[in-house]
Amino acid sequence: MMRHSENSVASEGVSGVGQLPETAEEQQPKKKKFRWKVDYYGILFIVPFFVVYAIFSLYPMIYSIALSLTDYEGFNRDIGLVGFVNFTWLATQPRFWQSLLNTVMIFCMNFVPQMLFALIFAAMFTGKTYKMRGKGAFKGIYYLPNILTATSVAVMFYTLFARPSGGLWQLLTHMGMSTDVNLYLMPWPSRIIIAFIQFWMWFGNSMITLSAGILGINPSVFEAAQLDGASQKDIFVHITLPLIKPIVVYSLVVSTLGGLQVFDIPYLFLSGGPALTDGRNATETVAVYIYKMAFTGDMRYNIASAASVYLFVICMIVSFVLFRITHSDELKEQKRMERRIAKRGGVA
């Protein structure tokens, strides 16, 4: 019965979305003589997209939201609406908050150094004074980790940091770490390794995106600055950085959304955390928490759905806020540039 109501909601949602123009078109023939306009092919062409989206994305979303309001657990056939009980229950769960905190911590430990390094390297690669050879090869090497399967990468680093056989573990002991240390039993080192894997995988991507942004800046801006006697440092701080800020913020939005949903690496690396009591779930991200809730143990679909609704709301708020910031920044930036150009008399 519940299913039926969802179905109708889903189909309504779709017709509201995709077929708005079509209803207008159906009314026309009654008044005027109906003529099939060639532009109606445009509507025909987007139908597959929206039909498939409605079935495989929109309906599951509504289904998830509906499940989060029920008591559907395990093999329970007798499902009833329970309202927001799951949400309030989740809000009192330290493990859920811990997973959220873990996600944020792992993301920050990965993103901040990643952007810093990416900026430094992008500056080096695009610098005019210190032109270097072999840029293509370096870029190729830096991007390589990004294309590899995340699960293989997780298992690879797992073997490399394992005590006592892992190569990187041995490297760390050569650099002064005690040989008694088992990194996988300690919360912070585990988190740092996961953040490092993320950094390792995404550094090249950020660096290439930022370099592309810098190369996309109109060269005459740099030339004008150079003619005015600006130093390389000044040019980077006062021209390059402000002009690529939109790209940095865009990367921030995309990476944040990706970072909030990170699953593969934490799941396969330690499947959520060191197995010790005090460090348990130290690397469990929200996505891992949702997966574990739904598909292991008691199969608590309702709790997992409620957690995914929370995650969705958080993602929406984050992207809304970040886009708000970029937008106002862009307007300010534009005005500032206009003023600069007006002062200089129309360069660029």
Partner 1 sequence: MSNDTNVMAPEALTESQIHKLAKKQVPLKKRVKHTAVTTVIYICCVLMAIVCLLPLWLLFVDATRATTQINQGMSLVPSRYLITNFNSLIEYDMPLVSAFFNSVLISFCSTALSLYFSTLTAYSFVAYRYKGQKVIWSIILILMMIPGQLSMIGFYKLVVDLGMYDTYWPLIIPAIAGPGAVFFFKQYFDANFSKEMVEAARIDGSSEFRTFNLVVLPTLAPALATNAIFGIVSSWNNYMGPLMLISSTEKYTFPMISQLIKTDRYSTDLGAMALAVFLTILPLLIVYACFSRFIIRGVAIGGGKE
By CB under 8 A, residue 130 contacts partner 1: yes
By CB under 8 A, residue 116 contacts partner 1: no
- Binding positions for partner 1, 214-233, rule CB under 8 A: 223, 226
By CB under 8 A, residue 12 contacts partner 1: no
By CB under 8 A, residue 157 contacts partner 1: yes
| AA letter at 128 | K
In angstroms, the Cα distances linking 256 to 6, 214, 317 are 31, 22, 11
By CB under 8 A, residue 128 contacts partner 1: yes
* Among 93-101, 198-206, 274-282, 326-334, the segment contacting partner 1 (CB under 8 A): 198-206
Of 87 and 143, which CB lies nearer to partner 1 in the complex structure?
Answer: 143
Q: Give the shortest CB-335-to-partner 1 separation in angstroms.
A: 25
Q: Give the shortest CB-342-to-partner 1 separation in angstroms.
A: 25
Of 40 and 339, which CB lies nearer to partner 1 in the complex structure?
Answer: 40
By CB under 8 A, residue 182 contacts partner 1: no
> Which one of residues 194, 195, 239, 287 is an interface residue with partner 1 (CB under 8 A)?
287
> Which one of residues 155, 230, 249, 252 is an interface residue with partner 1 (CB under 8 A)?
155
> Which one of residues 11, 15, 151, 182 is an interface residue with partner 1 (CB under 8 A)?
151
Spatial distance between the Cα atoms of 326 and 112, rounded to a whole number of angstroms = 18
> Which one of residues 8, 92, 165, 178 is an interface residue with partner 1 (CB under 8 A)?
165
Q: Give the shortest CB-242-to-partner 1 separation in angstroms.
A: 20
By CB under 8 A, residue 291 contacts partner 1: yes
> Which one of residues 101, 315, 347, 348 is an interface residue with partner 1 (CB under 8 A)?
315
> Which one of residues 91, 108, 212, 321 is an interface residue with partner 1 (CB under 8 A)?
212
Map the chain to HEC letters.
CHHHHHHHHHHHHHHHHHCHHHHHHHHHHHHCCCCCCCCHHHHHHHHHHHHHHHHHHHHHHHHHHHHCCECCCCCCCCCCECCCHHHHHHHCCHHHHHHHHHHHHHHHHHHHHHHHHHHHHHHHHHCCCCCCCCHHHHHHHHHHHHHCCHHHHHHHHHHHCCCCCCHHHHHHHHCCCCCCCCHHHCHHHHHHHHHHHHHHHHHHHHHHHHHHHHHCCCHHHHHHHHHCCCCHHHHHHHHHHHHHHHHHHHHHHHHHHHHHCCCHHHHHHHCCCCCCCCCCCCCCCHHHHHHHHHHCCCCCHHHHHHHHHHHHHHHHHHHHHHHHHHHHHHHHHHHHHHHHHHHHCCCC
Token pair listed for 209:
């995106």
Spatial distance between the Cα atoms of 65 and 305, rounded to a whole number of angstroms = 6
Of 111 and 203, which CB lies nearer to partner 1 in the complex structure?
Answer: 203
By CB under 8 A, residue 144 contacts partner 1: yes
* Among 16-24, 97-105, 108-116, 335-343, the segment contacting partner 1 (CB under 8 A): 16-24
Map 125-158 to HEC letters.
HHCCCCCCCCHHHHHHHHHHHHHCCHHHHHHHHH
Of 165 and 277, which CB lies nearer to partner 1 in the complex structure?
Answer: 165
- Binding positions for partner 1, 78-107, rule CB under 8 A: none
- Binding positions for partner 1, 326-345, rule CB under 8 A: none
Q: Give the shortest CB-94-to-partner 1 separation in angstroms.
A: 21
Of 194 and 287, which CB lies nearer to partner 1 in the complex structure?
Answer: 287
Backbone angles phi, psi at 70, to 5 degrees: -115, 180
By CB under 8 A, residue 26 contacts partner 1: no
Spatial distance between the Cα atoms of 193 and 160, rounded to a whole number of angstroms = 11
By CB under 8 A, residue 73 contacts partner 1: no
- Binding positions for partner 1, 39-68, rule CB under 8 A: 39-46, 48-50, 52-53, 55-57, 59-67
By CB under 8 A, residue 348 contacts partner 1: no
